[in-house]
Amino acid sequence: MVTALTAAPVKPKPRVIVYIDGLNLYYGVLQQAPSVKWLDLERLCKLLRPNDDLQMIKYFSAPVAGSADQSVYLRALATLPKVQVILGKFKRKNVKCGVVGCSYLSSKWFTVPEEKRTDVNIAVSMVDDAYQNACDHLVLMSGDSDLVPGLATVRRRFAGKTITVYVPSRNPIRAAAVELRAAAHRARELPILLLAKAQFPNSIPDGAGAILNRPTSWV
């Protein structure tokens, strides 16, 4: 008698949520390369994690006052079904110049913009998603050590979850990100070569009847 072979069950792909520290990504790899700033984050994440079940991409940033290019880019991201944009803010902060003999406007004090809420937004979102069992694998794109407590909380409270960190950097010192790498299960540098392969078309519809064009300085 011939017995039919039973097919082995197909292992489901891990459910993944990607958390992107927008300004860390910008200053780490995009600022020095205008031609890759028009970045399609959904395409990038699918290239980066081809064997995963991509649930969502959460992009954390803060609006830069007067930046038309950033405004257009945020509208472009809003056309991507898997991308959620979560914005903090910039706040003016008084700082004291540490240069001996500084004569800046006859005062050693001046104001600088400081990004607020992004680190907290990322950490809270990761912990909440783990608690809600929204994913099996959390992928963080950042090199900021301020996120270490958030990663540590996820690992301590949700032992079944995996955390991978991709550090976006063109600078080997910045890419070291020793504390953040140590806080994750896996860590590596963001593959820079993928950026050029994950660009929006030069012109895209915004879904409301208008066309969004790549900023002229991003060529």
Considering the domain boundaries, does residue 98 fall inside one?
A: no
1 in a domain, yes or no? Answer: no
pTM of this structure: 0.87
| Average pLDDT of the residues in 109-135 | 83
Residues across the chain: 219
150 near 126, Cβ under 8 Å?
Answer: yes
* More confident position, 154 or 3: 154
pLDDT band at residue 112 under the 50/70/90 scheme: very low
Pairing of strands 53-61, 15-21: parallel
Question: Tens digits of per-residue pLDDT, 135-182?
Answer: 999 999 999 999 999 999 999 999 999 999 999 999 999 899 999 999
Cα atoms in the 13 Å half-sphere on the side-chain side of 162: 10
Structural domains in the chain (count): 1
Q: Torsion over CA of 192, 114, 148 and 193, rounded to 10 degrees?
A: 0
Domain containing residue 44: CATH number: 3.40.50.1010
Cα 17 to chain center, whole Å? 11
Structural domain boundaries enclosing 142: 15-89+116-210
Residue given tokens 């395409």 in the structure block = 43
